[in-house]
Amino acid sequence: MKVKASPENIKLAGKIIKEGGLVAFPTETVYGLGANALNPIAVAKIFEVKNRPSFDPLIVHISRIEWLEKLTSQIDERAFKLIEKFWPGPLTLVLFKSQIVPDIVTAGLKTVAIRMPAHPVALELIENAQTPISAPSANPFGYISPTTADHVEKMLGDKIDLILDAGKCPIGVESTVLSLIDEEPKILRPGGLPVEEIEKIIGKVKIQTKSEKILSPGQLQRHYSPKTPVKIFKSIDEIKNPENSGILLFKKINLNIKAKRVEILSENGDLLEASANLFSALHRLDDSGVDVIYAQEVPETGLGLAIMDRLRKASAQE
């Protein structure tokens, strides 16, 4: 059931979380599918509804810094510097977990991924639930992430107890995941906080989006994928059979071909606007009946790194 994110409905959603149910809710990045992070049976429902593999860990969302100390066994000094600057916000920190975090949340790892979302509805929901909330994106596993409540309703519908609708997510790509468990900090998933901003606070970080063991959400080779095949292009000349194709442009250009559908992420090439529009544009192209989606390359600076990460994973073969 989709409802407006009014104070009354947020209280209802908090009650559902407390009682072991599932609630889809907005964050500044994408809509999340939330359950009580300390209730392994409730968390198991997330995996069941999403058809998510159990080796893929979940992010725990908190509304108060006190929870960070309860959920972790040790906190790196660098974490406090980043938290002071970027929380609430689209930064997830991977730290060593405490014993209260169920293994199903961390996929059996000794670490836990934690963030504080910068969305009033998300924060109010966590406060009302009186517990940290585990929440991956509110969609079937591997499919395009939802940036509106309508996306959630279309994909998960009556499989979940409640959908809180607070409009479109302003950032539109998932959080940046940063591991601080080693001396060298590592980006496990590029996202809504540009790497350059993190490096201003703690110095150089390594980008490690692939590893033998899945250490973070979003590390699988194929992810964020429409049902329609996606191909990344540099030049318009690479587009074949345009009349049956959908084209995803980074910015407005002169197209000398007639495509079945064209989506422009940002008229003037603004990366923040492009990231906010990425998943909605992919949803519209996927629903338009095209045979293939051609996606234009985006400059890999700032949020462009996260956009290209999502496009590469959307275009990966099974």
List the CATH number of the domain containing 270. 3.40.50.11030
User: 4-8, 24-28, 58-62, 314-318: which range is least confident on average?
Assistant: 314-318
How far is Cα 132 from Cα 56, in angstroms, rounded to an integer?
19
Query: Is there a domain that residue 144 lies in?
Result: yes
SS3 of 85, please?
Answer: helix
Query: Is there a domain that residue 28 lies in?
Result: yes
User: 25-34, 96-105, 215-224: which range is least confident on average?
Assistant: 215-224
What is the arithmetic mean of pLDDT over 205-228?
A: 74
Please enumerate, by residue number, every residue annotated as part of a binding site for L-threonine: 29, 61, 115, 135, 175
Our count of domains for the chain comes to: 2
What is the arithmetic mean of pLDDT over 252-263?
A: 88
Specify the pLDDT at position 55: 82
pLDDT of 211 over the 80 cut:
no
Q: Based on the domain organization, do 238 and 197 belong to the same domain? A: no
Specify the pLDDT at position 242: 85
Q: Based on the domain organization, do 63 and 189 belong to the same domain? A: yes
Q: Which two tokens stand for residue 110?
A: 């000794």
Q: Which domain holds residue 125?
A: 2-207
Q: Which residues of 154-177 are buried (b: 16+ CB within 10 A; e: fewer)?
A: ebbeeebbbbbbbeebbbbbbbbb
AA identity, residue 79:
A
Query: Is there a domain that residue 213 lies in?
Result: no
Give me the CATH number covering residue 23. 3.90.870.10
Q: Based on the domain organization, do 305 and 237 belong to the same domain? A: yes
Specify the pLDDT at position 194: 97
Among the candidates 160, 192, 207, a domain finishes at 207
Specify the pLDDT at position 13: 98
pLDDT of 135 over the 90 cut:
yes
Q: Based on the domain organization, do 197 and 132 belong to the same domain? A: yes
Q: Based on the domain organization, do 259 and 130 belong to the same domain? A: no
Query: Is there a domain that residue 220 lies in?
Result: no
Query: Is there a domain that residue 214 lies in?
Result: no
Specify the pLDDT at position 218: 65
What letter would DSSP give residue 144?
A: P
Residues in the chain: 318
Give the CA distances from residue 222 to residues 50, 188, 311, 312, in Å, rounded to whole numbers and listed in that order: 16, 15, 10, 8
Query: Is there a domain that residue 215 lies in?
Result: no
Please enumerate, by residue number, every residue annotated as part of a binding site: 29, 52, 61, 111, 115, 135, 137, 145, 175, 189, 224
Q: Based on the domain organization, do 234 and 201 belong to the same domain? A: no
> Strand 91-96 and strand 176-179: pairing?
parallel
Specify the pLDDT at position 54: 81
Please enumerate, by residue number, every residue annotated as part of a binding site for ATP: 52, 111, 137, 145, 189, 224
For every residue of 2-35, DSSP letters joined together read EEE--HHHHHHHHHHHHTT--EEE--SSS-EEEE
Query: Is there a domain that residue 174 lies in?
Result: yes
pTM for the whole structure? 0.92
Q: Based on the domain organization, do 234 and 197 belong to the same domain? A: no
pLDDT of 280 over the 90 cut:
yes
Q: Based on the domain organization, do 186 and 280 belong to the same domain? A: no
Give the CA distances from residue 210 to residues 190, 216, 313, in Å, rounded to whole numbers and listed in that order: 12, 10, 12
Q: Based on the domain organization, do 167 and 307 belong to the same domain? A: no
What is the distance in angstroms between the CA of the first residue and the CA of the last residue of the chain?
33
CB atoms within 10 A of CB 147: 29
pLDDT of 139 over the 90 cut:
yes
Query: Is there a domain that residue 294 lies in?
Result: yes
How far is Cα 217 from Cα 94, in angstroms, rounded to an integer?
11
Give the CA distances from residue 152 to residues 118, 162, 216, 312, in Å, rounded to whole numbers and listed in that order: 20, 10, 22, 23
Q: Based on the domain organization, do 114 and 250 belong to the same domain? A: no
Q: Based on the domain organization, do 76 and 154 belong to the same domain? A: yes
Q: Based on the domain organization, do 80 and 117 belong to the same domain? A: yes
Specify the pLDDT at position 222: 62
Specify the pLDDT at position 52: 87
What letter would DSSP give residue 80?
A: H
